[in-house]
Chains A and B, each alone.
Chain A
Amino acid sequence: MKSGSNLERVLEEGYFAVTAELGPPKGGSAEFIRRKAEVLRNCCDAINVTDNQTAVVRMCSLAACGILKEIGLDPVMQMVCRDRNRIAMQSDILGAVALGVQNLLCLSGDHQKFGNHPTSKNVYDLDSMQLIRMVRDMRDQRTFLSGDKVTSEVPLFIGAAANPYADPFEFRVARLAMKVEAGADFIQTQGVFDVKKFAQWMQMVRDQGLDEKVYILAGLIPIKSIGMARYMQKYVSGLSVPDEIVKRMEQAKDAKEEGVKICVETIEQLRDIPGVRGVHIMAVAWEEIVPVIAEEAKLLPRPIV
């Protein structure tokens, strides 16, 4: 066991894992975090807390994860390279360990151009690959990046992202292999709409035996409206939304219902792909739909491990 987090134990015991995303508020309300967390409590194994996603300032992931620990949940703390140098990152990682956080997802981070402070300076002292390696060394060698000794254990289950839809496609699996080599224990992918392309990517993942070395959780983004489908198809780079999905949303009588249906069908298809060990549901500002999706996709009840 790397950290013995609930997520790690669920995966280790061979269950099909479910994680869900929680976006902190643009304010300092702990109650907000608790309220959203209660919605997700019984329908997932761990809760990802985003780190100023899309470069919009929100409550920090570290504090929100601490609140989740207080109420007995298993947070996945997301950490991006955009806003912190190696000093702040290592310091925050120790703080997270002190609060009992056991999962850390290492990301590059959305460029600040997309956020609400586009004139800010970015950091990128490290990139996501180097962050993964740094955390692994803190955990396994008990050393900081400088070589100095860490005076406690750093039990973290290390996560990384993968995007099967970014270019160049043929390099994506090679980059995943590098993340595994750097020290990733689990992967949460970009939202899957184009299952065919995802299956093709998974075939390449299996060809390299990577599915045996890392737990892969396929990402899902429930679509709430026609506008959201169109927006994601047109403007969100790194996402691939097939025309068929947009058409289904357009023709639906009840858009939300159709969004849930698409999500549930996608989960069913993903479960059939060898090497997919779970799903990561990113219901941005729509957390209340996660229990519905989990129920309809027959992912409940969640195992107690």
Chain B
Amino acid sequence: MIIAEQKPLDEIKSMIADYQKVLILGCGTCVTICFAGGEKEVGTLASALRMATKLDGQNKEFVEATVQRQCEYEFNEEVAELVQEADVVISLACGIGVQTMNEQFPGKLTLPGLNTTFLGQPVEQGVWDERCQACGDCVLYLTGGVCPISRCAKSLLHGPCGGSQNGKCEVDPETDCAWHLIYDRLKALGRLDLMTKLRPAKDWSKARHGGTRRIVREDLKLQEVAPRA
């Protein structure tokens, strides 16, 4: 899922400096699961902002709401009225939700209350790790199910590099060396042959480097009905 974390309160405060009535809009999907932008966090942020702005001698109004999925228009329709009434919206969704809101309500500015950080997985209570970079050309079938693109600091296709020590990455001693994990896994599976093959240069055009990506599924698109003769 998409992992995000809340921006520092001061940054949010400075973003809303020029606005009076602020709608704080959460999202019920990924960011709820990772405790960054669900209903509960909307409430916490609203309280914090009420207190902080009052201490600054301001009299701002904060309205709270959360939609099920901020990245789809139909869910945001439910709060259209609240959006109209507000001077500005702080979205506690990922960057996709923020952009959806700005597109859907062009007359209103929606600001990001979170930093969208990565695609990842909760590994223990309160800890999330990156697992995917959406590179568009999955290599997990070559690497025993461990992603070197997102989990190796250099995104190497032939690791581990000389900085792999005791199973850890030289960049951060708390982080596992992805290629050491791949080695252990392939060894256990009896498939080290996968690791000693030379791989061609990766096609990064399928990643973001080819420009903004789009998927079109003709089979899913609504067909235009031919007018009756």
Contact = CB atoms under 8 A, between A and B. Distances in A.
Interface of A: 81-82, 86, 108-111, 113, 122, 124-130, 133-134, 145, 161-163, 166-168, 171, 174-175, 177-178, 181-182, 190, 237-238
Interface string B184-203: 10000000100110111110
Nearest to A240: B165
B165 A129 contact: no
B160 A166 contact: yes
Contacts of A108: 154, 156, 161-162
List the 3 closest pairs (A to B, CB-CB), nearest first: A163-B162, A129-B158, A237-B170
B162 A113 contact: no
Contacts, number: 88
Interface of B: 153-167, 170-171, 177, 180, 183-184, 192, 195-196, 198-202, 204
Contact of B160 (A81, A86, A113, A168): A168
10 contacts: A124-B155, A125-B204, A127-B159, A130-B158, A130-B199, A133-B198, A134-B201, A167-B164, A167-B165, A181-B198
Contact of B157 (A109, A129, A161): A129
Given A167-B167, A238-B170, A124 B156 contact: yes
Contacts of A190: 162
A163 B162 CA distance: 6
A178 B158 contact: yes
Nearest to A81: B154
B158 A175 contact: yes
Nearest to A168: B183
A111 B170 contact: yes
B154 A161 contact: no
Contacts of B177: 167
B154 A171 contact: no
Contacts of B198: 129-130, 133, 178, 181-182
B156 A166 contact: no
A81 B214 CA distance: 29
A238 B162 contact: yes
Contacts of B202: 125
A145 to B, nearest CB: 6
A122 B155 CA distance: 10
A114 B167 CA distance: 19
A38 B185 CA distance: 50
Contacts of A181: 198
Given A86-B201, A111-B171, A238-B163, A174 B196 contact: yes
Nearest to B196: A174
Contacts of A161: 162
Contact of A168 (B154, B162, B180): B180
